[in-house]
Amino acid sequence: MDIFSDLWLGAATAFQPVNLAYGFIGCLLGTAIGVLPGLGPTATIAMLLPITFGLQPEAALIMLAGIFYGAQYGGSTTAILINLPGESSSVVTAIDGYQMARRGRAGAALATAALGSFFAGSVATLLLAVAAPPLAAVALEFGPAEYFSLMVLGLVASVALASGSLLKAFAMIVFGLLLGSVGTDVESGVPRYVFGISQLYDGLNFVAVSMGIFGLCEILRNLENEHERSVGVRKVTGLMLTRDDLRRIRGPVLRGTALGSLLGVLPGGGAMLSSFAAYALEKRVSPNRAEFGKGAIEGVAAPEAANNAGAQTSFIPMLTLGIPGNPVMALMVGAMIIQGITPGPNVISEEPALFWGMIVSMWSGNLMLVILNLPLIGLWVRMLTIPYHLLFPAIIGFCCIGAYSINNSVFDVFIMSGFSVVGFALFKLRFEPAPLLLGFILGPMLEENLRRAMLISQGDPTIFVRSPLSLSLLVVAVLVLGLVLAPSINRKRNEAFTE
Amino acid sequence: MHLKRFIILAAMAASICAVTATAGRGQDYPSKTVTVIVPFAAGGNTDAFGRLVAEQLDKRLGQRFIVENKPGAGGNVGLGELARAEPDGYTIGMGTVSSNAINQNLFKTLPYDKAKGFAPLSLIARMPNVLVVNPEKMPVNSVQELIELLKKEPGKHTYASSGVGTSIHLAGELLATKTGVKITHVPYKGSSQAIMDVVAGHIDFMFDNIPTAAQQVKAGKLRALAVTSLDKASLLPDVPTMDSVIPGFEATSWHGIFAPPGTPPEIVEKLSQAVQAILHEPAMKEKIEGMGATPVGSTSEEFATFIKGETEKWAEVIKAANVPLQ
Amino acid sequence: MLKIKNGRDFVGGVAMIVVSLLFIWFGRELDVGNSSQMGPGYFPRMLSLLLIGIGVLIIVQALVVASEGEPDETANWKAYALVILAPIVFGLALSRLGLAPTMFLMIVAVSFASKYAGWRQSVALALFMAICSVVLFTRLLSLPVNAFGPWIPFLGN
């Protein structure tokens, strides 16, 4: 088998002491930074990029990759502990993870996230090694029409993120879509809702909005009803998973891994969609459906597995085609170009040691992360025992620096503050914020791909049903919509009957 | 006694005056850390050039040159910041064809005074774009064949760009205005998504920066028809220039370094000479050529004339192509 | 006359309609185009109309279905004001005072949003955060911000 000699070559590169060391530094930095609110992998890699200029290409890329998936691990920590998702993929983890923490099960939630991510990461890395080129071909099948249909499916599925009124969840999605339209219109170049502010030309920043709506808003809610010194978090019970937990997360992790691996391949939003999709799927198939939104362990396991699998497979378009699928990958391409390697379809044949070394290092990196993170869980959980009146000012402090670091501009700090007000008002009116954020993320992609498809088809809307791929996605979307609406219609009917 | 004290005081005063005067003339510039604003995100071409040059300025002038990324609004946020900085040489910044020659014609409002402009230090590098087609969807082997095909099927073909008003978009508009063909512009956010859709065949052709496109050409995924510089590109030596088919067709992206308006000429001169010297070092040249660009290192006067020409050229294209103001 | 059975949702529905109207008003100059030639205003306009529709439905629901009756909440205006204003103060002071003093002042101020705050603890926490953030962000991550800004004599530049 060819693959074994390739993997052997990769192992020879990845397991060189110096590369292992840089991989470890990357994972460590990534975790540390992922834990700090607001500092996502993009900002971190951007800040640390110059440091890698002096390194060997392999070491540089292994370290940057380590930061990337280390930050994925770290990001879920803040989502679970303080309801502060540092990046789009952990918005979903926050829903049930934070509820678990409030019920004293922060340890179990963190362990689920770490183990689920490790499993998903390992499987996705294997997939990357065996099937990168065919998967890349799938990614190329997705043109504007197919992306539009995929986004529609994602939006329909996102209604499942809400546990309350469907109508209000739809309202939040549309509000999110509207917020996503702030900034320069990609097709015409006309600025929308920018009020002459240069910083708004690129739209509202996700991290700033999310830190306002989730993080600061949570602090406002906690301070409102400050009855005890440590707010809302019950006594921590059992750091590790029980046998029952393990049984419950097996299915979700497997399904999450499958979904994440497939969606992650799609550049531009695939990996983001995967955690939402995995959560929506679990909420439908899980026997513990009623627990979702109140601290279901499945609601942590599935999206965490999906987002980590997606993070690994999102390397596929970059490594096989030389085309970065997300901002982090674009930074990696930048790093490669400075190193004198131009990523392209020939990287596998021209730089086999680099390609296979990176793949093997992803696996060893995931292993390091799980070893690094499991003992840390005890430490994180102990953090929750810090009196809240000392914890929340620190959270606000880190949020402010985090928001500043996005674009090295205080503008995003103001946006964060503004959206804490929006988030709090929405909470008072009992609107749930998760569908809003999903709408906000998907909105620009939905609109761009819709209009791009219409440009290509010269205004002919049948383009969305002519492509078999797009058609089947739309059919699935309609089915999902039916499934989502059916129970509530049934319930209404039952209510009417009982009256 | 008094006289003695007076003389000492006078001498001290004089020396202080002398020191401040020479400082004003840029003799002991730089005496503290210099900030280099890059108006684009880290990891891109402008950032790479900025960092390469800053690192060398560091060594040459003996002070720290720190790169700060201030991305946003096509470079306008960073340039606004540069314009507001003290014109003392301790804040300088990078600029590109879009931020310093196109945006002026494209945006209704700019966060700086268009008339004052900036003090150009030196043109660092020029990067040609290359016209690439999807070989399966577009059975053409040369620019002439492409133009014939586009004329035969007006309005049927699409070209991708990295956004409205980028040099990649305007190269397409330049093609349309110079040859009279009717083509549909499909803008993307950044060039990677755009080139992906050309490789996949969703879009027919595009102009793209040479390094990424050249890799796709080598792998046979795209066919290169011409480069947009007046000279052939080192990364694609067999590809003819657009100029040889459509005389006067030139659309390169370029990256230069600027100081805020009103910076003392001595400091401008000192920085400009340092940058020129850096760009004439063989190691530096090699590094920039490896990135698919041509190192330049012009004087500040040459750079100023160059920018003037570029601004006028793109103003005409934007007007002819009816690109809406932002 | 109809009676409002769920006041919270009634306000929610009205809020959604207000949001949509704001988007329509501020986007009134954007070219809408038509469905085969969409202008920049098309998408936001359609979404705004959709949101008005949903808002109306929420209001209708609020008139028909009674709320589940949640306990009343007490407002804590001091906490709201401090937490919401803290980032704004941070943003305004950062470039002038520098990271360390800004962080210190903000943490001391915002800690009084809690009724358990005490001077000694707040100052200690603020000092810790100021030192932490300077070491972490300006030294290790080289964030482009000074530890001490131009308004701080001797230390700032």
Strand stretches in B117-270, DSSP E: 119-127, 129-133, 158-161, 184-187, 205-209, 223-227, 253-259
Q: Residue B240: its pLDDT value, please?
A: 93
Q: Residue B16: its pLDDT value, please?
A: 47
Q: Is residue A333 a part of any domain in this protein?
A: yes
Which own/partner pairs from A345-351 qualify as long-range (CB within 8 Å, at least 24 positions apart)? A345/A320, A345/A321, A345/B215, A345/B216, A345/B219, A345/B221, A346/B215, A346/B218, A346/B219, A347/A319, A347/A320, A347/A322, A348/A132, A348/A319, A348/A320, A351/A57
Does the distance separating the beta carbons of A408 and B211 come in below 8 Å?
Answer: no
Could you tell me the two tokens for C77? 């205006």
The answer, for B84 touching chain A at a CB cutoff of 8 Å, is no
- Interface A-B: count of C-beta contacts within 8 A: 151
Q: Is residue A181 a part of any domain in this protein?
A: no
Kind plus residue range of the DSSP H or E element containing C22: helix C7-26
Q: Residue B18: its pLDDT value, please?
A: 45
The answer, for A202 touching chain C at a CB cutoff of 8 Å, is no
The answer, for B46 touching chain A at a CB cutoff of 8 Å, is no
Count of structural domains, chain A: 1
Mutate to test the interface with A, among B132, B196, B198 (most CBs of A within 10 A): B196
Q: What are the pLDDT digits (tens) for A304-347?
A: 999 889 888 888 888 888 778 777 888 888 788 777 777 777 77
Give me the residue from A143, A188, A407 closest to B164, CB to CB.
Answer: A188
Does the distance separating the beta carbons of A190 and C31 come in below 8 Å?
Answer: yes
Give me the residue from A193, A396, A398 closest to C110, CB to CB.
Answer: A396
Could you tell me the two tokens for B86? 């003290």
Task: Tell me the nearest-neighbour CA distance from A412 into chain C, angstroms.
Answer: 9
Task: Tell me the nearest-neighbour CA distance from A217 into chain C, angstroms.
Answer: 9
Could you tell me the two tokens for B183? 């083509």
Q: How far apart are CA B191 and CA C26, in angstroms?
A: 31
Q: Residue A70: its pLDDT value, please?
A: 85
- Residue B127 bridge partners (DSSP): B253
- Domain ranges within chain B, ordered by starting residue: 33-127+252-321, 129-244
Does the distance separating the beta carbons of A403 and C8 come in below 8 Å?
Answer: no
Q: Say whether pLDDT at C145 is over 90.
A: no
Q: Residue B1: its pLDDT value, please?
A: 45
The answer, for A468 touching chain C at a CB cutoff of 8 Å, is no
**Could you list the mean pLDDT of each consecutive 10-residue stretch along chain B, which spans 326 residues?**
54 48 60 87 82 88 84 83 88 89 82 85 91 93 94 92 86 90 89 87 91 85 92 88 90 91 90 91 87 87 91 86 71
Q: What are the pLDDT digits (tens) for C55-80?
A: 999 999 988 887 766 666 778 888 99
**DSSP classification of residue B139:** -
Tell me if domain B33-127+252-321 and domain B129-244 are identical in fold. yes
Does the distance separating the beta carbons of C50 and A174 come in below 8 Å?
Answer: yes
Q: What are the pLDDT digits (tens) for B245-263?
A: 999 888 888 999 999 998 9
Could you tell me the two tokens for A173? 């999605």
Q: Which residues contact C4 (CB under 8 A, 6 or more apart)?
A: C10, C62, C63
State the burial class of residue A203 (Cβ atoms within 10 Å of its Cβ: 0-12, 13-18, 19+). Answer: buried
The answer, for C144 touching chain B at a CB cutoff of 8 Å, is yes
Q: Which residues contact A162 (CB under 8 A, 6 or more apart)?
A: A168, A169, A172, A293, A432, A434, A435
Per the prediction, chain C carries an average pLDDT of 87
- Domain ranges within chain C, ordered by starting residue: 7-64, 77-140
Angle (nearest 5°) at CA B279 between B274 and B280:
100
The answer, for A451 touching chain C at a CB cutoff of 8 Å, is yes
Does the distance separating the beta carbons of B32 and C144 come in below 8 Å?
Answer: no
> Domain B129-244 has what CATH class?
alpha beta
Residues in chain A: 499
Task: Tell me the nearest-neighbour CA distance from C15 into chain B, angstroms.
Answer: 31
Name chain A contacts of B162, Cβ cutoff 8 Å. none
Q: Which residues contact B130 (CB under 8 A, 6 or more apart)?
A: B207, B208, B209, B210, B213, B214, B217, B224, B226, B227, B228, B233, B236, B239
Q: How far apart are CA A372 and CA B211, in angstroms?
A: 39
Task: Find the domain containing A375 and state its range.
Answer: 2-159+237-406+460-498
Q: How far apart are CA A36 and CA A88, in angstroms?
A: 15
Q: Regarding beta strands B184-187 and A191-192, do their DSSP bridges make them parallel or antiparallel, or are they unpaired? A: unpaired
The answer, for C149 touching chain A at a CB cutoff of 8 Å, is no
Does the distance separating the beta carbons of C157 and B66 come in below 8 Å?
Answer: no
Q: What is the 3-state secondary structure (H, E, C) of chain A?
A: CHHHHHHHHHHHHHCCHHHHHHHHHHHHHHHHHHHCCCCCHHHHHHHHHHHHCCCCHHHHHHHHHHHHHHHHHHHHHHHHHHCCCCCHHHHHHHHHHHHHHHCCCHHHHHHHHHHHHHHHHHHHHHHHHHHHHHHHHHHHHCCHHHHHHHHHHHHHHHHHHCCCCHHHHHHHHHHHHHHHCCEECCCCCCEECCCCCHHHHHCCCHHHHHHHHHHHHHHHHHHHCCCCCCCCCCCCCCCCCCHHHHHHHHHHHHHHHHHHHHHHCCCCCHHHHHHHHHHHHHHHHCCCHHHCCCCCCHHHHHHHHHHHHHHHHCHHHHHHHCCCCCHHHHHHHHHHHHCCCCCCCCHHHHCHHHHHHHHHHHHHHHHHHHHHHHHHHHHHHHHCCCCHHHHHHHHHHHHHHHHHHHHCCCHHHHHHHHHHHHHHHHHHCCCCHHHHHHHHHHHHHHHHHHHHHHHHCCCCCCHHHHCHHHHHHHHHHHHHHHHHHHHHHHHHHHHHHHC
Could you tell me the two tokens for A300? 């942590």
φ and ψ at residue B96, rounded to 5 degrees: -135, 180
Does the distance separating the beta carbons of A324 and B192 come in below 8 Å?
Answer: yes
Amino acid at A363: W
The answer, for C157 touching chain B at a CB cutoff of 8 Å, is yes
**Could you list the mean pLDDT of each consecutive 10-residue stretch along chain A, which spans 499 residues?**
79 88 89 78 75 82 87 84 80 89 88 91 89 84 90 83 83 94 86 86 88 90 72 58 87 93 80 84 84 89 91 85 79 79 78 86 89 84 82 91 86 95 93 89 89 89 91 90 72 52
Does the distance separating the beta carbons of A451 and C38 come in below 8 Å?
Answer: yes
Task: Tell me the nearest-neighbour CA distance from B202 into chain A, angstroms.
Answer: 6
Nearest to A354 by CA among A25, A45, A55, A98: A55
Q: A83: how many CB neighbours lie within 10 A of its CB?
A: 21
| Architecture per CATH, B33-127+252-321 | 3-Layer(aba) Sandwich (3.40)
C-alpha to C-alpha distances, A292 to A100, A171, A245, A484, nearest whole angstrom: 11, 21, 15, 15
Chains contacting chain C through 3 or more C-beta pairs under 8 A? A, B
Does the distance separating the beta carbons of B68 and C144 come in below 8 Å?
Answer: yes
Q: Residue C60: its pLDDT value, please?
A: 92
Does the distance separating the beta carbons of B218 and A346 come in below 8 Å?
Answer: yes
Q: A331: how many CB neighbours lie within 10 A of its CB?
A: 26
Name chain C contacts of B68, Cβ cutoff 8 Å. 144
Amino acid at A115: L
